[in-house]
């Protein structure tokens, strides 16, 4: 016999419910801010990776290898504990007044995710026929302008499904931010558990929320593939 | 307008352009023909440096392409290029395909660019397709849009690289008609094509190239009546009556 009293009420109402919801809010905030920044950074890195100037290309290559091949947790610790020693004092002071844990988590998640996004965008660009670049260059666009107006808009449309998957990964990865004290969903579930000893309920709730977010995101990919991609493809 | 002086180009060991000397004057229509793999596409692609040359001198609109300091991007804006595979931008509607470069490069106001684009679409007979995406058009229609796109930059030279080779036979005429209209308006044109009807009626000169060498350069009447070179004779026989 199970010798455990399930108490779902404890997490569906009252103080602990509020904690969990605050955690959900922080997780969403952390993920959305990071994915936007990671996308922009990923675009830049992808273009650098395809540059005709070798030092720029090598820098991007090194960045990609370095970021993708080190554990995210180490990167989070690096930015949280390590950056104090590296960053100038005034930046540290400014970050502390803001919310240093959150900032460090955003920086780490952004950099980590940007590497994967850059590679997704790059393979998107490679799937665009070479002739598109030729057509753009023939009209008098520079390499960067051709990328901006002709190649990347097409590549990004193709890349959106893998990008959404990166967002999914990022949302799940954001749970690691609890290790530096960001009060996101996992952190709050842990808090609820410490106060109530209702670990089963608390982490079931967290699991359901993560799963729910994933399913919603996956559904968006499906809709995008059916509705949007079908119309822009068919070259 | 365009002057080749002893131009050479190699792809690895393959000598694709061998001592090309050619002069295209303003307002002239020159047709380049030759068997496949003869270097005719490479020849036309060197004019806007889609293919850089290895040796010799190439002067286009007063700019020296063999000089590294020449601003190629600026020169390309003055040269329209029409591709075999059209290469329209699939993510943009027809109208935006045409207005993109004038707005971004010529800094035209959107309204002005759109009026100009509509005038060009009228000219190629596709005004009603302004809001279509390229994938919704037939090959012939796409190619006419591609010509309109090139003309929107008000180019001094128009280059055509086998503009009808990818088209179904019933669509070739509509594209050639647009090109003929353009030639009569005084545009400087270099056209790589197998359409010998177009060559004989529209062009001022025909250049026959094989294995990277210009074997013959003549007025169309001369070229069709009495080609001098044996290879040219064979080529003409094949393109004029491919069954035999």
More confidently predicted of A143 and A82: A143
Q: How far is B98 from chain A (nearest CA, A)?
A: 10
Residue A125 within any structural domain of the chain: yes
Q: Let me know: does A37 contact A118? Beta carbons within 8 Å.
A: no
Quote the CA–CA distance of A180 and A199 in Å, as a whole number. 21
Locus of tokens 């780490």: A108
Nearest CA in chain B to A145: B104
Residue A183 is encoded by which pair of tokens? 């009060």
- Mean pLDDT check: name the lowest of B133-137, B139-143, B223-227: B223-227
Nearest CB to A154; choose among B74, B91, B135: B91
B55 three-class SS: strand
Across residues B171-183, what is the average pLDDT? 94
Is A235 near chain B, with CB under 8 Å? yes
DSSP track, B198-238: HHHHH-SEEEEEETTEEEEEE-HHHHHH---SHHHHHHHHH
B76 closest CB neighbour out of A132, A138, A150:
A138
Q: How far is CA B139 from CA B125, B163, B177, in A?
A: 14, 10, 15
Q: What is the pLDDT of residue A235?
A: 39
| Domain limits for position A181 | 11-234
Q: What tens digit of pLDDT does each residue of A92-139 get?
A: 777 777 788 898 899 999 999 999 999 999 999 999 999 999 999 999
Q: Work out the mean pLDDT of chain A and round it to a whole number.
A: 88
Owner of token pair 């960045």: A63
Element (H, E) at B21: strand B14-24
Q: Considering only CB atoms, which chain A residues are within 8 Å of B50?
A: 134, 137-138
Q: Is residue A1 part of a domain?
A: no
Question: Is residue A62 domain-resident?
Answer: yes
In a domain, A5, yes or no: no
Query: With contact defined as beta carbons under 8 Å apart, do B104 and B73 qualify?
Result: no
Inter-chain touch B89–A139, beta carbons under 8 Å = no
Q: DSSP for B110-167, please give it.
A: HHHHHHHHHHHHHHTT-GGGTT--GGGS-HHHHHHHHHHHHHTT--SEEEEESTTTTS
Percent of chain B residues topping a pLDDT of 70: 99
Average pLDDT, chain B: 93
Q: Is A228 helix (H, G, I), strand (E, B) or coil?
A: helix
ipTM of the complex: 0.90
Report the number of distinct structural domains present in chain A: 1
Mean pLDDT for A213-228 is 83
What pLDDT, on a 0 to 100 scale, did the predictor assign at position A234?
46
d(CA A121, CA A100): 30
Which DSSP letter does residue B36 get? T
DSSP state of A81: I
Q: Assess A6–B contact: CB distance below 8 Å, yes or no.
A: no
Which carries the bigger pLDDT value, residue B68 or residue B105?
B105
Backbone angles phi, psi at B27, to 5 degrees: 80, 0
Interface of B with A (CB under 8 A): 48, 50, 73-74, 76-81, 83, 85, 87-91, 100-101, 104-105, 133-135, 149-150, 153
Q: Is some CB atom of chain B closer than 8 A to the CB atom of A183?
A: no
The answer to whether the CB of A29 falls within 8 A of the CB of A213 is no
Q: Distance (Å, rounded) from C-alpha B17 to C-alpha B48?
A: 15
Q: Are B152 and B110 in contact (CB under 8 A)?
A: no
Chain A CA closest to residue B100 = A149
What CATH number is attached to the domain comprising A184? 1.10.3720.10
Rounded to the nearest 10°, the torsion over CA A161, A165, A171, A176 is -150
Give dist(CA A18, CA B10) in Å, integer. Answer: 72
Nearest CA in chain A to B47: A138
Residue B167: count of CB within 10 angstroms of its CB: 21
Q: Which residues is B2 bridged to in the sheet? A: B24, B60
Whole-number pLDDT of residue A230: 64
Q: Which of A143-152, A195-204, B28-37, B155-164 has the lowest mean pLDDT?
A: A195-204
Residue A6 is assigned to a structural domain of this protein = no
A65 within a domain of the structure (yes/no): yes
In a domain, A43, yes or no: yes
Interface test with chain B among A139, A143, A158, by most B beta carbons within 10 Å:
A139
Q: Is A79 part of a structural domain of the chain?
A: yes
CA distance A234 to chain B (A): 6
- DSSP structural state of residue A232: H
A-B CB pairs within 8 A amount to 67
């Amino acid at each position: 016999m199970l010798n455990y009293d399930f108490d779902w009420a404890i997490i569906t109402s009252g103080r602990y419910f509020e904690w969990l919801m605050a955690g959900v809010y922080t997780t969403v905030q952390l993920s959305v801010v990071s994915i936007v920044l990671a996308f922009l950074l990923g675009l830049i890195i992808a273009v650098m990776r395809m540059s005709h100037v070798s030092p720029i290309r090598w820098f991007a290559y090194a960045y990609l290898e370095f970021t993708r091949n080190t554990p995210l947790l180490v990167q989070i610790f690096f930015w949280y504990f390590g950056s104090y020693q590296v960053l100038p004092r005034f930046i540290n002071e400014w970050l502390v007044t803001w919310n240093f844990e959150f900032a460090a988590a955003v920086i780490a998640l952004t950099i980590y995710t940007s590497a994967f996004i850059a590679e997704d965008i790059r393979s998107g660009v490679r799937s665009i026929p070479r002739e598109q670049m030729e057509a753009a260059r023939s009209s008098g666009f520079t390499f960067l302008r051709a990328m901006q107006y002709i190649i990347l808009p097409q590549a990004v449309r193709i890349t959106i499904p893998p990008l959404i998957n990166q967002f999914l990964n990022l949302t799940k990865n954001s749970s690691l931010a609890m290790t530096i004290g960001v009060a996101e969903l996992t952190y709050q579930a842990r808090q609820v558990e410490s106060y109530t000893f209702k670990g089963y309920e608390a982490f079931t709730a967290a699991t359901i929320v993560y799963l729910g977010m994933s399913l919603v995101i996956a559904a968006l990919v499906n809709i995008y593939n059916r509705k949007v991609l079908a119309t822009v493809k068919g070259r | 307008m365009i002057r080749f002086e002893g131009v050479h180009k190699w792809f690895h060991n393959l000598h694709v352009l061998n001592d090309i000397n050619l002069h295209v004057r303003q307002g002239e229509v020159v047709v380049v023909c030759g068997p496949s793999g003869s270097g005719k596409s490479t020849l036309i692609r060197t004019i806007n440096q889609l293919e850089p040359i290895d040796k010799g001198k190439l002067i286009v609109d007063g700019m020296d392409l063999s000089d590294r300091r020449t601003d190629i991007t600026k020169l390309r804006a003055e040269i329209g290029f029409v591709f075999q595979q059209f290469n329209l931008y699939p993510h943009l509607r027809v109208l935006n395909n045409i207005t993109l470069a004038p707005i971004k490069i010529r800094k035209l106001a959107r309204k002005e660019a759109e009026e100009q684009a509509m005038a060009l679409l009228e000219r190629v007979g596709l005004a009603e397709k302004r809001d279509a995406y390229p994938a919704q058009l037939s090959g012939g229609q796409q190619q006419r849009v591609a010509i309109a796109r090139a003309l929107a930059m008000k180019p001094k030279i128009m280059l055509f690289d086998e503009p009808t080779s990818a088209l179904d036979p019933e669509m070739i005429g509509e594209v050639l008609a647009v090109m003929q209209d353009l030639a009569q308006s005084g545009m400087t044109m270099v056209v790589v094509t197998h359409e010998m009807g177009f060559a004989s009626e529209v062009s001022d000169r025909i250049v026959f190239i094989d294995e990277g060498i210009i074997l013959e350069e003549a007025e169309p009447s001369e070229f069709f009546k009495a080609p001098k070179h044996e290879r040219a004779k064979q080529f003409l026989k094949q393109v004029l009556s491919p069954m035999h």
